[in-house]
Amino acid sequence: MKTPYKNIYNVLKLNRFIVLAVVVCALLSSTFSVWMVFNTNQKALNSAFAINTDGSIIPLKLVTQKENFRVEALAHLDLFHNYFYNIDASNYERNLEKALWLGNSSVDNLYRQKKADGVYNRLLQYSLVQKVLSIDSRISENNGSYGFTTTTIFEINRGTIIDTYELVSTGNLIMVDRNFPNNPHGLLITNYFENTLKKLNDES
């Protein structure tokens, strides 16, 4: 007696079902593996561990990105205001060139305006020394954009007379590629503006 052959269509359907089941299981397994790797990586980025003296593991929280940005921003503003305002006849060209790397066209326009007004010519003519005494910057965030207000106290030494000034300036900060040593913090000052300049005192 001959063995009856199975219906070829039923065999193909069964094979197709098996293949689809294997593919679905593989996709689910791959997706779960990717999710586990991503989740583990995120936890690793947000945490670090140290070994205590008794051998126990102590979890340490890393500083957040915003805290890192704040430190970089304050250092960037401190560097810029020192370069731009801490000048004398011997260093003003070098310092201003460094300052221009830290800001965009708004800084360059202010520099050109000061140059046209004869600020740097007077620096040379009268051997003035402009020295920064303090820099106080405050960072604010609004919908992902960062602004700052900086109060710079500096003095101008005219030989027999020393005048002290308070300058309040504002602007924004954007992130750019780091360019060491020209722009070590990877930030750029935009919309820079000198709001107020006030003489604090005269000393003879």
Tokens at 25, concatenated: 């299981």
In this predicted model, what pLDDT tens digit does every residue of 61-120 receive, in sequence order?
A: 544 567 788 999 999 999 999 999 999 999 999 999 999 999 999 999 999 999 999 999
Alpha-carbon gap, residue 136 to 168, rounded angstroms: 10
Give me the pLDDT at residue 8, please: 72
Query: What residue segments make up the domains of the chain, in order of their start?
Result: 61-200
Task: State the pLDDT confidence band at 26, using cuts at 50, 70 and 90.
Answer: confident
- Identify which has the larger pLDDT, 20 or 73: 73
- Top CATH class of 61-200 equals alpha beta
With 50 as the cut, is the pLDDT of residue 54 above it? yes
Percent of the chain with pLDDT over 90: 58
Give me the pLDDT at residue 101, please: 96
108 backbone dihedrals φ, ψ, rounded to 5°: -65, -40
